[in-house]
Amino acid sequence: MAVTAAVCLAPAGRTAAQAAGGEDPKVAAARYYDLLLDQYMHSQWAEFEKAVKQSSTHQRHLTAEQRGDLAYMRKTYAEFRPSWWKYTKASKNTTFTAQIWGKSFKANYMPSEFLGFQVPVGIDERTGRFQILVTWQPHLVNSTKLLDDEGAKPHRLTEGDLAEAIVWHELGHNYVTQSFPASQVMALYDNYSLLFSALQEYYADMTALYHCTPQGRKATLTLRVPDLRWNDVNDSHVRGAHAIGSWILATVLSDLSQWPSFHLPTKVADKEIERETILYMYQHIDPQYSLAEDRALREMIGKFMRTHGASVLRKKGTLSLPSGLEFKIMTAEDRQNQAQRDAWVKTQLEKAIASGQVTKYAATKGHPKRFRIRTSW
């Protein structure tokens, strides 16, 4: 009877569990969602696997939006860590079936001290296509050790995040090289060496940006800062990175309200406006980068590559941007486009600054060391 009285006298809005000293299940569910989200966004997969098994306890107390997020996280986690992922940290040579852009292929992996590369080792007589070897440092895969760099620390980027970007990047190279007959690949390198090399880097980084976890996506972007800063126009990594940066910047500037974590400068650069703005944007991605933005970026990349990925190759590295302008991989062919993009970025950025959409954001100190994840011939 005492318990009944306590329930009857409980203030409006309180549950019986609260009146008896328990916690409101909605509060518990909200706390559970926040925990799961943090684990997902920071690649704490051992903890995420355990926590997600408790979802049935909290599911009905989550909001409709939170339930949608939970379903998305569970689905994409399985894509980020497919069954074959265990082979990426093997300590001996192995062949496994990987999947890129929904298509399966055989990956021949060799552990090494190289940070990452792919190299043809022969020609398959049956298919006439190259047999590819990919390599990286297996001890880095799944490592939780934080990267020793000031630019990576705010994002809690780890060696495992770096390795993840490398693995997907090299598998992206592998996929592209195996997509053409060996004779055609050799002809492309003989006649269009810089163009095809830059397109390889562009495609490999876009593959990493789509297939990586949120942390791996941030690693792929921020670790291209040194290449963009170096800006050797004859370097394939630089041109590939600039193409992707141009496309992302045009997307962000076309609708700033959708990308609150991609911070922009409060002053327009005096020269090389587009490149300098890309650099700033990459160095100032908010550590509280949201699930909504990460999902939008990944889905946007997936849609673009499935719709236009092949045409970028056919058009010799010409990208159509959300601004209505173009980017051409070859620097000599891009000069007029570059001037047009610089002018467009200047106009859009000045408008955003004047309207108060761009506010001062504290700089991230330092930037990741320059590294190479590459094709080798």
DSSP 100-146: ETTEEEEEEEEE-SSS-EEEEEEE-TTT--EEEEEEE-GGGTT--PB
Bridge-partner residues for 95, per DSSP?
108
One domain for residues 225 and 197: yes
Q: Which pLDDT band holds residue 275 (cuts at 50, 70, 90)?
A: very high
Q: How many domains does the chain have?
A: 2
Tens-digit pLDDT profile for residues 70-95: 999 999 999 999 999 999 999 999 99
One domain for residues 225 and 101: yes
Over range 45-63, report the average pLDDT.
94
Identify the domain boundary among 63, 80, 97.
80
Identify the domain boundary among 39, 62, 80.
80
One domain for residues 7 and 43: yes
Q: What share of the chain is helix, strand, coil (3-state, %, to 5)?
A: 60, 10, 30
Q: What is the mean pLDDT of the chain?
A: 89
Over range 190-201, report the average pLDDT.
91
pLDDT of residue 371: 54
Check if the beta carbon of residue 153 is closer than 8 Å to that of residue 369. Answer: no
Q: Which pLDDT band holds residue 182 (cuts at 50, 70, 90)?
A: confident
One domain for residues 217 and 173: yes
One domain for residues 137 and 226: yes
One domain for residues 63 and 129: no
- Where on the phi/psi map is residue 128: left (φ > 0), alpha (ψ -120 to 50), or beta? left
Range of the domain at 361: 84-375
One domain for residues 214 and 246: yes
One domain for residues 280 and 212: yes
Q: Look-up: residue for tokens 């799961």?
A: 36
Q: Look-up: residue for tokens 């910047």?
A: 249
Tens-digit pLDDT profile for residues 112-155: 999 999 998 999 888 898 999 999 999 999 999 999 887 788 89
